[in-house]
């Protein structure tokens, strides 16, 4: 029995039905629906909830301040502005190992250029915890303290005889911790309005320094796998911020929102970190690849012009226009919004900002259609043999 148009039409219809079912949104969770708290609309109840949230945030911030307050004063007093970072450790490293770490620390930070005479850096090693930067706004104004947990491979240094062989790992570990204090170390205190902007964002735009090279491009097979993984629209982290997507498409108003939107201070408060104490954490970002923003800006306009922007007393947009307006490559974007749009396109690549058929969906549809056609052909062949 040969395949007829009816068989092919049935197979195509089944494939379309399978694709339609796959694209349906998931049903609501009956457990969450059953136990969801009632939505109170009374103004007094909303005020109570707001006060409870603010009290919870204040308690968490007080806990963070109390956790750091005991050591910050002592560590800040050890800072030496204009000189290499000071290494402080509670870990009982052997003298040879401690000297090796101190030498690698000086070598890594020398890549940033001559230190500023305004701010000194103290690197405090701890066995546990998370990477935390206590900025000059939270110290005496002349010290930037880095609380750096010891990496699990570096913990073996006290019992290792071959310290030199681990120099690359020590460099990577120390390089990843430079973060915001690296900008203070190289350029000093920023202008008050620039610093206010950075603190309102918890310095999420400054966790990568400008001497760190971009990661190597993914191999072709891994790049294809990454392209096929987000079978749903929300699975691609480039779409996590719609402001960043619109900025990528050239909407400069949304670029301004991504840079200076009122949601940013609220995100900082939700992370329960007091102003001036920042930590590298997985938090919502208004820009894609935000931690590379200042580093890429430094490379684009040069350290000298970036220092002009950094130390400017003007608001951030005017400071950028004054510092980067005549820089080679940046003169095409005289505003920070235009430069940000171009930067997002370079980081994110070309995005779809309208309705379109996604490549993974096409592959899924072809696979489903092939399975259906094969099943019909097998069924028809068996009937013909019988």
- Read off the pLDDT of residues 199-239 as tens digits, 9 standing for 90 and up: 988 898 999 999 887 665 555 555 555 555 544 444 567 88
CA dihedral 308, 310, 313, 316 (to 10 degrees): 110
How much is the average pLDDT of 93-118?
88
Q: Is the pLDDT assigned to residue 292 strictly greater than 90?
A: yes
How do residues 326-355 score in pLDDT, each as one tens digit? 544 444 568 999 999 999 999 988 777 666
Q: How confident is the model at residue 45 (pLDDT cuts 50, 70, 90)?
A: confident
Of 75-79, 219-223, 381-385, the poorest mean pLDDT is in: 219-223
How do residues 14-41 score in pLDDT, each as one tens digit? 777 777 766 666 665 554 444 445 555 5
Return the higher-pLDDT residue of 193 and 364: 193
Of 42-46, 105-109, 144-148, 199-203, the poorest mean pLDDT is in: 42-46
The two structure tokens encoding residue 37: 């708290």
Question: How open is the CA angle 92-97-101, to the nearest 5 degrees?
Answer: 105
Helix (H, G, I), strand (E, B) or coil at 151: coil
Query: In whole angstroms, what is the distance from residue 249 CA to residue 349 CA?
Result: 10
Query: In whole angstroms, what is the distance from residue 20 CA to residue 37 CA?
Result: 33
The overall average pLDDT reported for the chain is: 78
Helix (H, G, I), strand (E, B) or coil at 141: coil
The two structure tokens encoding residue 108: 């890594």
């Amino acid at each position: 029995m040969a395949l007829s148009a009816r068989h092919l039409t049935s197979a195509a219809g089944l494939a379309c039905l399978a694709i339609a079912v796959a694209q349906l949104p998931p049903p609501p969770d009956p457990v969450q629906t059953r136990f969801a708290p009632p939505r109170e609309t009374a103004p007094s109840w909303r005020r109570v909830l707001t006060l409870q949230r603010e009290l919870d945030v204040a308690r968490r911030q007080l806990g963070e301040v109390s956790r750091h307050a005991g050591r910050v004063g002592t560590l800040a007093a050890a800072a030496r502005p204009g000189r290499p970072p000071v290494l402080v450790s509670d870990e009982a490293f052997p003298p040879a190992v401690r000297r090796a770490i101190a030498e690698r620390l000086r070598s890594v930070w020398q890549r940033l250029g001559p230190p500023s005479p305004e701010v000194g850096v103290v690197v405090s090693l701890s066995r546990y915890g998370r990477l935390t930067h206590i900025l000059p706004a939270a110290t005496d104004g002349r010290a930037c303290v880095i609380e750096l947990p010891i990496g699990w491979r570096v913990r073996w240094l006290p019992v290792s005889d071959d310290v030199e062989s681990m120099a690359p790992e020590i460099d990577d570990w120390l390089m990843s911790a430079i973060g915001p204090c690296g900008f203070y170390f190289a350029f000093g205190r920023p202008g008050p309005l620039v610093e206010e902007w950075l603190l309102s964002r918890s310095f999420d735009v400054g966790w990568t320094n400008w001497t760190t090279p971009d990661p190597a491009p993914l191999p072709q097979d891994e790049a294809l796998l990454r392209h096929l993984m987000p079978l749903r629209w929300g699975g691609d982290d480039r779409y996590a911020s719609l402001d960043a997507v619109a900025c990528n498409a050239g909407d400069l108003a949304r670029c301004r929102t991504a840079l200076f939107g009122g949601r940013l201070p609220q995100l900082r408060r939700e992370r329960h970190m007091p102003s001036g104490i920042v930590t590298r954490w997985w938090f919502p970002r208004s820009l894609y690849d935000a931690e590379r923003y200042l580093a890429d800006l430094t490379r684009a306009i040069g350290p000298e012009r970036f220092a002009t922007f950094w130390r400017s007393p003007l608001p951030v947009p005017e400071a950028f226009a004054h510092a980067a307006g005549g820089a080679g490559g940046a003169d095409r974007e005289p505003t920070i919004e235009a430069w940000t749009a171009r930067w997002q396109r370079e980081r994110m690549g070309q995005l779809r900002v309208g309705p379109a058929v996604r490549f993974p969906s096409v592959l899924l549809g072809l696979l489903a259609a092939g399975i259906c056609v094969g099943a019909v052909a097998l069924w028809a062949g068996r009937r013909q043999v019988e």
